[in-house]
Amino acid sequence: MTIIRYYPDNCAVCGAEQKNQHVFIHTSYLPLLQQIYWEIIGADPTKCTVCGYVSNPISKSPGKVTKEWLQSEEYVNNDGIDFKSGYADLYYKEYKVELLNRRIEGAFIAIFTTCLFCFEEHDFENGVWCSYLALSLIDKLKRQKYIKTDTLKLMRAGLLRRTGQFNRLIKEFSGCTFEKVYYNRYLSVLLERAIQKNSANIPDEELYRVIHGHD
Ligand SMILES: [Zn+2]
């Protein structure tokens, strides 16, 4: 079950009152990487209905973002990417905002979530493209405020699989052990898929089974 609460807040760019979301998820399982994401963030960004600013929360300092930039072709049309998922569109815009302000960790989380929504909607081409963008940001993440190193490593392993870099994944992660048992279980699924050169979605049921240690 998911509980969403809204609270009013003012857009940091145009001042219009908007409704931020607070999402509380009480569910037995979600696809693992999505679950990790929710553990980090816990809410979707909000898009201002007046100026188009996307942020979490909407009152967060816009930094270099201006009203003009929000109307630019690259922002409005997501650099020409035609997403199938409305959430992917929303998170890609947050990624653009964070990147403009050189908030690399925020940009990474936003583009990573864009990938999740693309794959969920079977929008593979855009999902793979955004996975490459996410991978390029991981290399720039020197300090992580929210994301623990193990989590980041696991996210990287997932992105390597999605981008078809199977040999690299096997080379980097064979023999790698995490503190959390379910991370290790998830990694074993990724490695197994990498050996099969399989970058497709892993069924939720299978993940649930593996993560909870059932055969
Ligand atoms: Zn606004």
Could you read off the pLDDT of 115-165 as tens digits, one per residue? 988 998 999 999 999 999 999 998 788 666 667 788 889 999 999 999 999
Per DSSP, the three-state class of 17 is strand
Measure 98 CA to ligand 1 centroid, in angstroms. Answer: 16
d(CA 142, CA 33): 21
Instruction: Please state the pTM of the whole predicted model.
Output: 0.89
Measure 7 CA to ligand 1 centroid, in angstroms. Answer: 16
Q: Which two tokens stand for residue 173?
A: 């992660």
Angle at 148 between CA 142 and CA 151, to 5 degrees: 105
Measure 11 CA to ligand 1 centroid, in angstroms. Answer: 5
Measure 15 CA to ligand 1 centroid, in angstroms. Answer: 6
Q: Nearest CA to 79 among 104, 33, 101, 111? A: 111
Mean pLDDT over the full length of the chain = 87
pLDDT band at residue 26 using 50, 70 and 90 as cut-offs: very low
Measure 13 CA to ligand 1 centroid, in angstroms. Answer: 5
Measure 57 CA to ligand 1 centroid, in angstroms. Answer: 12
Measure 102 CA to ligand 1 centroid, in angstroms. Answer: 21
Spatial neighbors of 76 by CB under 8 A, at least 6 apart, are 52, 70
Summarised one tens digit per residue, pLDDT across range 52-89 is 999 988 999 999 999 999 999 999 999 999 999 998 99
